[in-house]
A = this chain, B = another copy of it.
Amino acid sequence: MSSLAPRLAVYLVADPDLARVDLPLAVHQALDGGCTAVQLRAKHLTDRAMLTLARNIREMCRAYKTLFVVNDRLDIALACGADGVHLGVDDLPVADARRVGQQAGRPDLIIGYSPETDEQAAIAASEGVDYLGVGPVFGTASKPDAGEAIGLETLRRRAAKTTIPVIGIGGIETRNAASVIGAGAVGVAVVGAILRTDDPRNAARTLVETVSSAEAQRW
């Protein structure tokens, strides 16, 4: 198992469209609660505003020694010095992102990828992907275009078919997080379960404990 895996345990997708309050405040609370990774997903900001927000979250994550990745945008990731970038099937191809990252002096750039089929999941390792986001595991209200839930069995199948760490995403909350780990994921990506609560710190803490217990039971 990759040494990246423990850093993916509780992965907050920080989306300003879904934050109840100030996003950096909620991220700060989640970091304080022990969340292990943050992804900035900002589909409706200008690039300049996204970069400013990315730098802000980047600094907080650095202070907490927490992984920070930028969704979709390699240029923003490189400009703010993120640890990585997360790509989907409609984004820059992984090979191109890897090459530009290497050219930019970032051979260490972590590249996450969201496959949409078993085949895409299976070949991701050969493309140099560092981790996979697989979902939507359950129905989700946080991403209207996410498609139909794939369920735990599909998650289990995709996780079994690859050698790289998999996190589950989509409709994951405290009550179902253990089942995602049970299906072979090393972590859970959450949006609303942290952002749309009154207490992001406590929500993160509870998720960390839940994932940790579920991991322990798996071995």
Contact = CB atoms under 8 A, between A and B. Distances in A.
Q: How many copies of the shown chain assemble into the complex?
A: 2
Interface in A59-115: 72-76, 78-79, 89-93, 96-97, 99-100, 103-105
A2 interface: no
A73 B75 contact: yes
A92 B75 CA distance: 9
Interface string A31-48: 000000000000000111
A100 B75 contact: yes
Contacts of A103: 78, 104-105
27 contacts: A46-B90, A46-B91, A47-B72, A47-B91, A47-B92, A48-B89, A48-B90, A48-B91, A48-B92, A48-B93, A51-B92, A51-B93, A51-B96, A73-B75, A74-B79, A75-B78, A75-B100, A76-B92, A78-B100, A78-B104, A79-B92, A79-B96, A79-B97, A100-B104, A103-B104, A103-B105, A104-B105
Going nearest first, the 6 A-B pairs with the smallest beta carbon separation are A46-B90, A75-B75, A74-B75, A104-B104, A79-B96, A103-B104
A92 B99 CA distance: 21
Contacts of A90: 46-49
Main secondary structure on A side of the interface with B: helix
A54 to B, nearest CB: 11
A169 to B, nearest CB: 20
A51 B91 CA distance: 9
Nearest to A106: B103
Contacts of A46: 90-91
Contacts of A78: 75, 100, 103-104
A78 B105 CA distance: 13
Nearest to A78: B100
A112 to B, nearest CB: 15
Interface in A107-163: none
Contacts of A48: 89-93
